[in-house]
Structure formats: structure tokens, C-alpha cells
């Protein structure tokens, strides 16, 4: 019988087994784990209550331990933002399909922001020209210029599109937060409540609101996003000179 066989045959004393179990479950603290915990806290508590202390508590470590990996709360927000978008890769610009490529980019951005509660608020505070994201920004500029947009319009288009995506996702999150703080059970029910408010307005003072209120609130958020996106893309397309001009 070898020494290894002997070790396997005889169980360790209880106090030794306890010590070994403790050593096995100890996981090194990393930026990735901190960001994971931050998303957990954000989804549970929301933007206003997310703190370094809450994140440390989620990980079961002292707050001071976080600062070996993260400079502070703003740095943590930037890491969370990067986590959402560092895997985003724009396709090669296709001048024949530029409008659909822009729309796909916007849909992807909104979907990512909605993956986590209040992420749109964090996104609105971030500067997109991080080194890791510059290749994507470069490709977006190539898409706009390749489509034939004049340079001043191409220069403004990316910022305008990002503002629309962030603002729309933020509005969705804001209304969801309001719904969460009421007795309303679903967004459909919330929509009916808002529509009822507008329907009760005096028609002599608000004829246009009454005429349009059903259209304003019958559409889903997805439908409203698509309409807004189409307005932006059509507006950009209007700046492109016809090829035979």
C-alpha cells in the first residue's frame, strides 16, 4: 500500500476537515467578481442605493478590500459599462444597408441597457471614448461616412443616436420604478392608468392630447422605440445627396 493509498483510507480528523473546507471555498477577489456583485446589488437595490459598502457586503469582504481592484464608485460604474459593451462588434460598414445597420446597433444598445436595472443612468454618465471602445466608434463613423452623410452630420450622428438610446432606456427604467412603487401589477395596467388620466382632460383645453392619447399609449415600448429610431434614420438619410446629383 502506498502512502497515497494510506491517506485515502484514513479520514482526516474533524478539525482538519473543517479547516480544509474553509480553505477550499476561499475565492480570490478580482475585478470580475466585484463587477458581478455590483450588478447583483444594482438589480436588487437600484442606482441610488448602490454603494461600495453594499458591494463589499455582497462579496463578504471589507470595503477596503475593494480598493485594491477598483479606484472608487465611478471607476466601478465604468467597469460595469464596459462589461455590457466590450463584446459589441459592429459589422463591416455596408453602404447599401447602412440604415438597417444603424437600427441594429440601436436595438442592441437598448437591449443591453435593459439587462440591468438603472443601467441607463450609469450609461448616461460615461464617456464612450474609452480606449477599448474606440474601434467601435471608428467603425460607426466609417458607416456614416460610407453612407454618404456630410462630415458635420456624420460627426454629430453617433452622439445623437447614443443620446436617443440612453434617454429612451432611462425613461423606460423611470416608469418601471414608478410602477414598482405603486400597486399596479404590470406595465399594461400602468399604461391604462395613464391613458385614463389623459382621457379625462377637458377637451376644450386639450383637443390634440385627447385626439392622440390613444395612439400615445396603445403602442408598446418596442413599437415606440422603432418609430423614434425610424425618425432619426430618415432624418439622417435626408442629408445624403443623390448619386446622380
Q: pTM score, two decimals?
A: 0.78
CB atoms within 10 A of CB 48: 9
Per-residue model confidence (pLDDT) at position 8: 53
* Residue ranges of domains in the chain: 3-70, 88-237
Query: What would be the CATH architecture of the domain defined by 88-237?
Result: Orthogonal Bundle (1.10)
Per-residue model confidence (pLDDT) at position 135: 84
Cβ proximity of 124 and 166 under 8 Å: yes
> 3-70 falls under which CATH superfamily?
Homeodomain-like (1.10.10.60)
Read off the pLDDT of residues 132-182 as tens digits, 9 standing for 90 and up. 778 888 889 999 999 999 999 999 999 999 999 999 999 988 887 777 777
Read off the pLDDT of residues 210-232 as tens digits, 9 standing for 90 and up. 888 877 777 788 999 999 999 99
Question: What integer best gives the mean pLDDT of the chain?
Answer: 86
33 class by beta-carbon count within 10 Å (0-12 exposed, 13-18 middle, 19+ buried): middle
DSSP code of residue 133? G
Cβ proximity of 99 and 237 under 8 Å: yes
- HSE-CB for 238 with a 13 A CA cutoff: 6
Per-residue model confidence (pLDDT) at position 21: 53
Amino acid at each position: 500500500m502506498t502512502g497515497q493509498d494510506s491517506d485515502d483510507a484514513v479520514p482526516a480528523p474533524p478539525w482538519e476537515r473543517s479547516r480544509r473546507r474553509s480553505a477550499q471555498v476561499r475565492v480570490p477577489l478580482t475585478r470580475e467578481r466585484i463587477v458581478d456583485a455590483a450588478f447583483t446589488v444594482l438589480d436588487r437595490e437600484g442606482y441610488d442605493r448602490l454603494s461600495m459598502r453594499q458591494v463589499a457586503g455582497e462579496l463578504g469582504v471589507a470595503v477596503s478590500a475593494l480598493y485594491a481592484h477598483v479606484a472608487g464608485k465611478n471607476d466601478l460604474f465604468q467597469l460595469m459599462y464596459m462589461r455590457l459593451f466590450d463584446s459589441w462588434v459592429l459589422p463591416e460598414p455596408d453602404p447599401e444597408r447602412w440604415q438597417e445597420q444603424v437600427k441594429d446597433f440601436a436595438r442592441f444598445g437598448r437591449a443591453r441597457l435593459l439587462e440591468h436595472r438603472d443601467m441607463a443612468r450609469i450609461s448616461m454618465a460615461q464617456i464612450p471614448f474609452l480606449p477599448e471602445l474606440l474601434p467601435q466608434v471608428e467603425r460607426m463613423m466609417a458607416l456614416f461616412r460610407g453612407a454618404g452623410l456630410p462630415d458635420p452630420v456624420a460627426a454629430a450622428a453617433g452622439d445623437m443616436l447614443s443620446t436617443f438610446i440612453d434617454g429612451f432606456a432611462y425613461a423606460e427604467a423611470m416608469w418601471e420604478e414608478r410602477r414598482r412603487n405603486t400597486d399596479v401589477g404590470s406595465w399594461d395596467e400602468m399604461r391604462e392608468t395613464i391613458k385614463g388620466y389623459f382621457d379625462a382632460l377637458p377637451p376644450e383645453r386639450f383637443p390634440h392630447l385627447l385626439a392622440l392619447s390613444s395612439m400615445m399609449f396603445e403602442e408598446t415600448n418596442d413599437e415606440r422605440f422603432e418609430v423614434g429610431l425610424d425618425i432619426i434614420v430618415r432624418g439622417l438619410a435626408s442629408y445624403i445627396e443623390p448619386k446622380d446629383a
